[in-house]
Amino acid sequence: MEKCPSSSTTDRKTIEKNRRNQMKALFSKLNSLVPHQRSGEAASLPDQLDDAVNYIKQLQTNLEKMREKKDRLMGGIEKSTHCNAGFGRCAGPITGGSPLVEIHETGSALEVQMITGLEYQFMFNESIRVLHEEGADVVNAGFSVVEDTVFHTIHSKIEELAPGCAAARISERLNKKFVNDQADALGSI
Q: What is the pLDDT of residue 172?
A: 82
Q: Coil, helix or strand for 4?
A: coil
Q: Does a structural domain hold residue 34?
A: no
Residue 127 lies in a domain: yes
In a domain, 172, yes or no: yes
Mean pLDDT of 141-161: 82
Residue 118: pLDDT over 90:
no
Whether 45 maps to a domain, the answer reads no
In this structure, are residues 130 and 138 in contact, taking their beta carbons and an 8 Å threshold? no
Per-residue pLDDT tens for 24-45? 999 888 888 888 766 667 778 8
106, 21, 31, 122: which is closest to 114 by C-alpha?
122
For residue range 43-90, what is the model confidence (pLDDT) as tens digits? 788 888 888 899 999 999 999 999 988 888 777 555 433 344 344 433
H-assigned helices in the chain: 5-33, 45-78, 123-133, 163-174, 181-187
Out of 25-34, 91-100, 133-142, least confident range: 91-100
Q: What is the pLDDT of residues 10-27, one digit of tens each?
A: 899 999 999 999 999 998
Q: For the chain, what is the domain count?
A: 1
pTM of the predicted structure, to 2 decimals: 0.44
Phi-psi region of 101 (alpha: psi -120 to 50; beta: other; left: phi over 0): beta
Sign, Cα dihedral of 157, 163, 164, 168 = negative
CATH number at residue 169: 3.30.70.260
Q: 89 — phi, psi (to 5°)?
A: -160, 155
What is the number of H-type helices and E-type strands within the chain?
5, 6
Does residue 97 lie within any of the structural domains? yes
Which DSSP letter does residue 175 get?
Answer: I
Domain that holds residue 132: 92-187
Establish if 170 belongs to a structural domain: yes
* Domain-located, residue 80: no
In a domain? residue 117? yes
